[in-house]
Structure 1
C-alpha cells in the first residue's frame, strides 16, 4: 500500500492509499478540508475534534441524501462498513484524538 502526505485544515497527515486510488483519496481529502475549513471559518466551533466530527456528519448526511444507483436500490449492493470508516478516521486523526 502506497502512502500519500496530505494537508487538512493546515495539518499534515500521511495516509495509506491502495494503488490506483490516489485520485479518489485526494478528492476525498479536498472535500474534508473544504468542509472542516468552512466550519472553522464560521467561527462557531474552535476545537479541531468537534470540527472533524461535524464535517464527517455533514459529509455523511450529504452522501445519504444522494439517490441510490440502480444496483443499490434493489438491495444487491454491499452495505457500508461504518465501523471500518470510523477506524480509518481515527487513524487519520492520530494524535488529535479518537472520534468514538
Structure 2
C-alpha cells in the first residue's frame, strides 16, 4: 500500500464531535484504532460566543443567511430540536440547565 492510500485508511469514522462522538473517538484511539472525526462546524474561540441575546449571527447556524453561530434549529412535524454546531457539538451549548416551561 502506498503512502497516498494510507492517508485515508481509518478503522472508525465518527460523525460529530459532541458528547458521544468525542468520547467514542477517545476510547477507540486509546485502544490503538485509527479514528477520523467529522464535524460540520468549526473550532470556536471565546470571541465567537455571543455576549447578548441580540447577537443572532453568533447564536444561530443559518449558513444561507451567513449566520454561523452555535445553535442549529431543526423543525420536524411534531418536534423541534436544537443542537450545537462546532467542534464539541452539544457540549458547546450545554449549561447543565433544563428550564421548566410555565404551565
| TM-score, length of structure 2 as denominator length | 0.28
Q: Which has the higher contact order (CA 8 A, sep 6+)?
A: 2
Compare the two structures and name the one with the higher strand fraction: 2
| TM-score, length of structure 1 as denominator length | 0.29
Compare the two structures and name the one with the higher helix fraction: 1
Determine which structure has more spread, i.e. the larger CA radius of gyration. 2
